[in-house]
Homo-oligomer: A and B are copies of this chain.
Amino acid sequence: MDKILRVNMSDGSVKVEEVPEKYQLLGGRALTSSIVCDEVVPTCHPLGPYNKLVLAPGMVTGTSAPSSGRLSVGGKSPLTGGIKEANAGGIPGQKLARLGYKAVIIEGQPERGKLFLLKISTGGAELVPADDLAGKGMYEINKTLWERYGEGTGIIGIGPAGEMMMRNAGISCNDPENGPGRYAGRGGLGAVMGSKGLKAIVVDDTGAAGVPVANKELFDQGRKKLAKALTTHDVTSKTLPSYGTAALINVMNEAGGLPTRNFSSGRFEGADKISGETIAEVTTSRGGKMGHPCHPGCIIKCSNIINKADGSYHVAPLEYESDWALGANCGIDNLDDIAELNRLCNDIGLDTIEAGCTLAVAMEAGLAEFGDSKKAIELLKEVGKGSPLGRILGNGTAFTAAAFGVTRCPTVKEQAMPAYEPRAVKGIGVTYATSTMGADHTSGYTIAPEILNVGGDVDPADPNKAELARAFQATTMFIDSAGYCLFIAFAILDIAEGFEGMVESVNGVLGTNWTTDDVTKLGLTWLKKERLFNEAAGLTAQDDRMPEFMKYESLPPHDTKWDVDDRVLDAVHSYTVEE
* A residues lining the B interface (CB < 8 Å): 42-45, 47-50, 78, 164-167, 191, 194-195, 387-389, 391-392, 395, 399, 402-405, 407, 536-543, 545, 547-549, 552
Min C-beta distance of A29 to chain B, whole Å: 24
Task: Closest B residue to A535 by CB, please name it.
Answer: B540
Residues from chain B with a CB closer than 8 A to the CB of A388 are 387-389, 391-392, 403
Residues from chain B with a CB closer than 8 A to the CB of A389 are 388
Query: Once the chains are docked, how many angstroms separate the CA of A166 from the CA of B401?
Result: 11
* Known contacts A388-B388, A537-B542, A540-B540; A43/B395 CB under 8 A: no
Query: Once the chains are docked, how many angstroms separate the CA of A395 from the CA of B407?
Result: 15
Are A548 and B407 closer than 8 Å at their CB atoms? no
Residues from chain B with a CB closer than 8 A to the CB of A540 are 538, 540
Min C-beta distance of A114 to chain B, whole Å: 15
Query: Once the chains are docked, how many angstroms separate the CA of A194 from the CA of B407?
Result: 13
* Beyond A78-B402, A167-B402, A387-B388, 18 extra complex contacts between A and B, CB < 8 Å: A43-B548, A48-B407, A48-B549, A49-B552, A164-B405, A165-B405, A388-B389, A388-B391, A388-B392, A388-B403, A391-B403, A392-B403, A395-B402, A395-B403, A537-B542, A538-B539, A538-B541, A538-B543
Q: Is the interface of A mostly helix, strand, loop or mixed?
A: loop
8 contacts between A and B (CB under 8 A): A43-B545, A45-B549, A48-B549, A191-B405, A388-B391, A399-B402, A536-B542, A538-B539
Task: Closest B residue to A409 by CB, please name it.
Answer: B45
* Known contacts A538-B540, A540-B540; A548/B44 CB under 8 A: yes
Query: Once the chains are docked, how many angstroms separate the CA of A538 from the CA of B399?
Result: 19
Query: Once the chains are docked, how many angstroms separate the CA of A75 from the CA of B510?
Result: 56
Residues from chain B with a CB closer than 8 A to the CB of A407 are 45, 47-48
* Known contacts A387-B388, A388-B389, A403-B391; A43/B191 CB under 8 A: no
How often does this chain occur in the complex, in copies? Answer: 2
Residues from chain B with a CB closer than 8 A to the CB of A48 are 407, 548-549
Query: Once the chains are docked, how many angstroms separate the CA of A407 from the CA of B45?
Result: 7
Query: Once the chains are docked, how many angstroms separate the CA of A486 from the CA of B538?
Result: 32
Are A47 and B392 closer than 8 Å at their CB atoms? no
Residues from chain B with a CB closer than 8 A to the CB of A391 are 388, 392, 403-404
Query: Once the chains are docked, how many angstroms separate the CA of A541 from the CA of B538?
Result: 7
Are A542 and B43 closer than 8 Å at their CB atoms? yes
Closest 7 CB pairs of A and B: A538-B542, A165-B405, A388-B389, A388-B388, A391-B403, A45-B548, A538-B540
Residues from chain B with a CB closer than 8 A to the CB of A549 are 45, 48
Picked from B45, B167, B548, the residue with its CB within 8 Å of the CB of A50 is B548
Task: Closest B residue to A166 by CB, please name it.
Answer: B405
Min C-beta distance of A187 to chain B, whole Å: 14
Task: Closest B residue to A48 by CB, please name it.
Answer: B407
Query: Once the chains are docked, how many angstroms separate the CA of A397 from the CA of B549?
Result: 27
Min C-beta distance of A386 to chain B, whole Å: 9
Min C-beta distance of A76 to chain B, whole Å: 11
Query: Once the chains are docked, how many angstroms separate the CA of A164 from the CA of B405?
Result: 7
Min C-beta distance of A337 to chain B, whole Å: 23
Query: Once the chains are docked, how many angstroms separate the CA of A165 from the CA of B49?
Result: 33
Query: Once the chains are docked, how many angstroms separate the CA of A552 from the CA of B44?
Result: 12
Min C-beta distance of A278 to chain B, whole Å: 35
Residues from chain B with a CB closer than 8 A to the CB of A402 are 78, 167, 395, 399
Residues from chain B with a CB closer than 8 A to the CB of A166 are 405
Query: Once the chains are docked, how many angstroms separate the CA of A537 from the CA of B545?
Result: 11
Min C-beta distance of A350 to chain B, whole Å: 15
Task: Closest B residue to A399 by CB, please name it.
Answer: B402
Min C-beta distance of A397 to chain B, whole Å: 14
Task: Closest B residue to A78 by CB, please name it.
Answer: B402
